Amino acid sequence: PTWLHRALIFLVVSCPCALVISVPLGFFAGIGAASKLGVLVKGSNYLEVVSKVKTVVFDKTGTLTKGEFKVVEILPSESVTGRGIDADKLLEIAALGESCSNHPIAQSVLEAYANTHAGAAPELSRVGASEEIPGRGIRIPVDGKPTLLGNERLMQGEKIEFTPQVSAGTVIYVAQEGVFLGTIVISDTVKEGCAEAIGGLKLAGVEKCVMLTGDHRRSAEAVAGELGIDEFHAELLPADKVQRVETLLGARREGDMLAFVGDGINDAPVLSRVDVGIAMGSLGSDAAIEAADIVIMDDDIRKIPATVRLARKTMRIVRQNIVFALSVKAVILVLGAVGIANMWMAVFGDVGVSVIAILNSMRMLGFKAK
């Protein structure tokens, strides 16, 4: 009977195989293409979020810079140069003070000391127990004398008169027994490809790139200017970074997403708070990798704009599959209702559309980073 034939056509065409297969397959192909680039995406929903990212926030040290600090200047205070404190003595005091720390900045001071003392390490017997002052520096007895090493806020908090150092690097202020001894300037180098990555993000449609760092403002300003960062915030404690990100989240437009890129253990709270967290997988801390939604396995920051472009292409293909499948099915359903469509058309509307949508999804596997 005619009504039975039309009902069977409706039944075959209305089967959602094309949507059920092709849409998830589009995301799987996107995740597979990302893995070929060396990018681990922990879920298809993060690809959708990345495709809507308009603001990318970067941690500075270890993400935009190598985190390989080198001592570039040793500047004794003029008020103590006549009392036996020269550059070598200042470096020795600083190395003794930093001898118990594993921080990269402390390691750079110890490396500079070793280079000037035939590879020798400071004598640990000359120092006592150190006390860390969060966000400022350390307090430690050196040769029985209370010694301070840290930033400007440490000197100001201890009410020590000091000479501010204007430098683009990280500055360690050294004081002993309440007297300012001098400064040690440490510089960090920008990673290769960072400027290219920032430019690539702009071309990919990201509107604003922001940098957060605990370093001095002058150091942050120099890096931001070199890389073309739109906005930066310096001299931040780990809790301050979370607050800054909360402010940026509150200021965004509805529908826009925010991504954060970091590598350190202090970045984990921010990585878990933002819409999508991106971690450096090679040298990043385990906490940051665990908290992140996307991991750049080889630490190549240029993979981030490539991931944004990949995510947007994935979403285009998924939308194409949805529109194509629903449009073809709708046309065949209408034709079937008026008696024009036959069973072959119904089969094409089910199986044929599914095959075409699957082939369209497979185009993602040929995605190139550039």
Q: What sign does the CA torsion over 208, 212, 215, 216 have?
A: positive
Characterize the bridge pairing of strands 131-133 and 137-142.
Answer: antiparallel
Question: Annotated catalytic residue: which of 59, 188, 267, 293?
Answer: 59
Q: What is the three-state SS of the chain?
A: CHHHHHHHHHHHHCCCHHHHHHHHHHHHHHHHHHHHCCEEECCHHHHHHHCCEEEEEEECECCCECCCCEEEEEEECCCCHHHCCCHHHHHHHHHHHHCCCCCHHHHHHHHHHHHHCCCCCCCHHHECCCEEECCCEEEEEECCEEEEEECHHHHHHCCCCCCCCCCCCEEEEEEECCEEEEEEEEECCECCCHHHHHHHHHHCCCCEEEEECCCCHHHHHHHHHHHCCCEEECCCCHHHHHHHHHHHHHHCCCCCEEEEEECCHHHHHHHHHCCEEEEECCCCCHHHHHHCCEEECCCCCCHHHHHHHHHHHHHHHHHHHHHHHHHHHHHHHHHHHCCCCCHHHHHHHHHHHHHHHHHHHHHHHHCCCC
Q: CB neighbours (10 Å) of residue 159?
A: 7
- In angstroms, the CA 80 to CA 78 distance is 6
Look up 143 and say whether it is catalytic: no
- On whether the CB atoms of residues 220 and 212 are closer than 8 A, the answer is no
Residue 243, phi then psi, degrees to nearest 5:
-65, -40
Instruction: Let me know if 318 is exposed, middle or buried by CB neighbors in 10 A (0-12, 13-18, 19+).
Output: buried
Report the catalytic residues: 59
